[in-house]
Structure 1
Amino acid sequence: MFYSFHFYCIYHLINMKSSLTLLCLVVWVNVDASSAQTEPKDFCGPPPHLMNGDTMGHNRERYRNGESVHYECQKYYILDPPSAYKTCRDGIWTGLITCLKIEGACINPTVMNGFIVQSNERNVDPRNSKIYYSCNVGFKPSTGGWWGEATCTEGTWSGILQCIAQGVICDPPPKVENAIVKIPYQNKYIEGFEVNYECRKSFEIEGLKKLTCENGSWTTSPPTCKQYCGKPEGTGKKILILDQVQKRYENGNQIDYICISPYKGPGGKATCQNREWLMPVECKASCPDPPSIENGDFIKEKRDEGITEVYYQCSRRYTLSFTGSIRCQNGIWPSPPKCLRPCEISTFDAEYNLKNLPKKYYTAHGEKKTLQCKEGYYHKYKILGWNIVEIEVKCDDGEMQYGEHKPICAILIHR
């Protein structure tokens, strides 16, 4: 493998005040000695790097003969020659391109009370390019019209890049605590501009919601966002307010109250806080007599003043539907338990042929019993036949439960 290089020299005007300058570039060519006598190559590798510039588009790993790649220069540089490109020929990129630094280029300016809309593009000589700018709300270009423009000449922008006030304008509207203003923030607002306030959740607005820019100021004072409490729950029925009764109270207001019969308690001072009343002493309703139950009675237990909790017990052979106590809350008793009845089994004796049952035989609610047939008698199951002598029953609130088969015993008959 051996290397060679070629010289390419051109004349170019570097800047408007200089003389002609000879620019010589060296292009290295890599030649593979083993393939020096072979057919030309059909592909090129990635395009070469350009100082102060780059290719336009995504680069590939290889290109076919005849394909071209265009370049663009960085800002304040310009292609030489303009719109130049490199082409793949016989495996080598051909074409001479440089990015020349431009003397006298203008840097994009800052526009007071405005913004640049369109600025210099790449590969455009910024020495003779234009920019366009627009102004913020309430301002207009000093040259008149909706848009302003300026041209770069020898490193200086021509014209005045300035936005002047248009008519009478207002400063930003006042901020309101716990309020939201649904407008984009600006330094100035034009005549006739309207601002609407909304309070955050759980706050109520007081005053005018809308302000308008007129004659350089906002028409009215801004509203306020406050939290209020209504009258305390149970006013006139459960509690009596000793102060003057109002429809609503501001956050932090306090009232004195007492309890109304049959509710008991010393009363006190309530405070409005975050739309709720904080009452140090609750007015509790006095409880009536506990509810009575059939075949049972309650056992009183006193709490504070009066009876507020009771336990129940049933008469002999009866069973409570649930154990434990019930409590009176806000003057109301919950439903008491029931006394569930026992079951009398002796009624089966005569017709059902059960073994050794006394005249009166009881079993409690929920209890299971095993009954037996008299000697020589059997319980008949529809499926199993005449071979059962024991029958299981269960008591359910005075009723015997035995499924589909009644506890009847009969004499076994052979066929």
Structure 2
Amino acid sequence: MSFKCLRFVLLIWFPGALHAQSTSPCEAPDLDDGYFVPVQVSYLHGTKLYYACDRGHKPAVEGWWGTSTCENGEWSHKLECIEEEYCLLQNIPHAKFSKTPKRWYKDGRRIRVECEEGYIHKDHDATAECKNGTWLSVPVCERDDAACGEPPKLPHAVIIHRSMQGLFAANSEVLYECEDEYGVEGTVKQQSLFCIMGEWSEGQPCRRESRPTSRHDRHPTTGGGAGTTGGGPSRPGGSGTLGGGVSTGSGHNERETGRTTTAITRCGERPRVPNGDIVETTETYLRYQCITYYKLWGPEIVMCHSGTWSTLPSCTEAFCVVDSDSNPFLKPFLGVKHLKEGQKTKLECLKLSHQWFQHFTVVKCSHGQLSFTDCCVAASHHFNTC
């Protein structure tokens, strides 16, 4: 019989041998001012100890006695007896600590408790004090009325770059991305929504992106006049249309207008659009998109017609600038912020009354102009100065 076969047979006869290889015993623990049972030199994996403390002391766990289990050479928690005047750390829902908290604190010790994102201290009480073994005024973390729940669902879009959470603090941002063949305002694929005073800002729907019609799909008709399309917005006062004059539904075709679409290599250097980028290139056309804070006017598709480029689009400003220097009621040193067209945000403002509370105003950019709400304390269960 080979060694491998012999080992297999032994494992069948003695199944505990394999388990013993993956576990280790625990040494007897050190426990001052207390006692435990059973008392042994060492303990097998899985053994549970029961311990209690001498008069004037208590276990560093809830209750007048405690337990600890041997787990592969280590006790599940250190057996420890502390003075009765000391306080055990309490479980505070939705609380967090800037550094790892201790299991217990001495008499007279004060600690500060922080709240998770989207929660605030009830009655603005953030500290707890240990007094004769009992905590005085334990902080409570309650939901902030300015926080938001789950962000809304947008058809044909998913949320990216966000943590898995059920509550979002005020001013939180979530980023949406449209699925393939869908976009916001043309070919823009992403947009952000913000949590403002308990409500999510309004999102734009993801619409199916328009594509140029193939020459083989066009049906020639009779008629005259300049070729246009019904698909793209034209800049006020301009003559640019989607496709640069190639008909897709007006009744005028290439042969009638005398404009033949050729390969873009026939037109030489690709035209530059200030504040815009080429986001798609094919053999027959270029697709343009404006950079952030700019809006596209005119056709997003540019073609080559017998050595000449069709009408180019333009990118116009679509944002507002807000800064504390121009708006003295805002908190100083706020800096300069840019808001997209239709975007809202919450900024800290100043109010002579109730100076000890933070005040906020909601700013919105609409048609290049800023609008502000009243300067108010963020809505809560206790304060609202609006």
Do they fold alike, i.e. is TM over 0.5?
no
Larger radius of gyration: 1
TM-score, normalised with respect to structure 2: 0.30
TM-score, normalised with respect to structure 1: 0.29
Q: Which has the higher strand share?
A: 1
